[in-house]
Homo-oligomer: A and B are copies of this chain.
Amino acid sequence: MKLYDLQSAPNPRRVRIFMAEKGIEGVEKVSVDLPAGENLSDQFRAMNPMAQVPVLELDDGTQLSESVAICRYLESAFPEPNLMGVEALEQASIEMWQRRIEFNLFYPVLMAFRNIKGLFADRERISGEWGDISKERARTTMAWLDSHLADREFIAADRYTIADITALCAVDFARVVALRHEQEGLEHLEAWHQRIASRPSSQA
């Protein structure tokens, strides 16, 4: 397998951590220079019309994009350890938490980054006002997550799941817009972060 990747970007990091937790090795990494617009080439768009990383290329040449869809495939191909739920209700519950974190923390952090920093202002209209609103929403979600984690070790289940991966990547990436969870006085979120960030997979 081959992963079209960018080390500094939060979405490919989700897939790299997912792979590391499952012990998937030998995946070739191809770095795509997003700031330089390598992802905007016809060649790259033929792989992923959304012009985003990551893209996972399977050994038969099949190309998959969208981080969570890639994780879904890997979950089937490499079932252990389970990260997305076993039976129907657990799968749905973990997906519910994954999406809560994605829409209320991960995505607002990305919107804050793109609209405040303007790294892609050469290719998309941006709004500084929306950047500020997004950052504030991410901060609000962090506070809510802190209370959620007051009596839980992990976000979605009694074990590590994809929801923890999405939250870790969001909380860490929030630093690029000067939103630092450790400065928000959120002790439960901080304790969770220490547990999750200390796993070897977080270095992937």
Contact = CB atoms under 8 A, between A and B. Distances in A.
A92 B70 contact: yes
A60 to B, nearest CB: 10
Interface residues of A, number: 34
A66 B127 contact: no
Interface string A151-182: 00000000000000000000000000000000
Contact of A64 (B64, B69, B96): B96
A77 interface: yes
A70 B144 CA distance: 22
Contact of A127 (B50, B58, B129, B148): B129
Nearest to A77: B88
Contacts of A126: 133
Interface in A85-127: 87-89, 91-93, 95-96, 99-100, 104, 125-127
A37 interface: no
A138 to B, nearest CB: 13
A76 B86 CA distance: 11
A157 to B, nearest CB: 13
- A-B CB proximity, top 6 nearest: A76-B88, A73-B92, A130-B130, A69-B96, A69-B95, A66-B96
